[in-house]
Amino acid sequence: ALHQRAALGGLDGRPCREGDRLPLAAPASGEADHSLDPIPLEREAPIRVVLGPQDDLFSQAGLATFLAETFTVSNRADRMGYQLDGPEIAHGAGGFNIVSDATVSGSVQVPGSGRPIVLLADRQTTGGYPKIASVISADLRRIAQRRPGEPVRFAAVDLATATRLAREAAARIA
């Protein structure tokens, strides 16, 4: 893997090319103490979100677009955020510029273009675009595993459901 902006990974500071040989460490000896069953990717299921904190800055049509339409992970997706292609999400009469406030992994910002951006691990700590929703923690792995060109749909859940799903996800890997 290579993260060019951070100058991490790759081979000799550059992207890998056809014919490159990658150095490998010696294989580990022995067996692992335990193993985990693979967690299914559930690619067909929608990504669950909790609406807000600024969902009131979007028109009813904009909210309906966000929850009813299918978006596509763009080729501009990286560890900072997944820019999504698809229909534009309409802002409300108040516009799209807000005073910068905190972001979290999974915040879904919608800049003036109307194209949502799901913020991920290397996101900025604050942002000045309204956040229509936040991906629930139990689904962060699912959105982060999407590849450019893959579809993304969203479904709203309430906070109690998001909390229950987070606890269930944590119990699966405990």
Could you give all domains of the chain from N- to C-terminal order, each with its CATH number?
47-172 (2.40.100.10)
Q: How many Å from the N-terminal Cα to the C-terminal Cα in the chain?
A: 28
Distance of alpha carbon 144 from alpha carbon 82, whole angstroms? 8
pTM beyond 0.85: no
Q: pLDDT per position in the chain (174 positions), as tens?
A: 677 777 777 887 788 888 888 888 777 776 666 666 666 777 889 999 999 999 999 999 999 999 999 999 999 999 999 999 999 999 998 878 899 999 999 999 999 999 999 999 999 999 999 999 999 999 999 999 999 999 999 999 999 999 999 999 999 887
**CA pseudo-torsion sign 70, 117, 108, 55:** negative
Judged on CB neighbours under 10 Å (0-12, 13-18, 19+), 154 is: buried
DSSP H or E stretch at residue 111: none
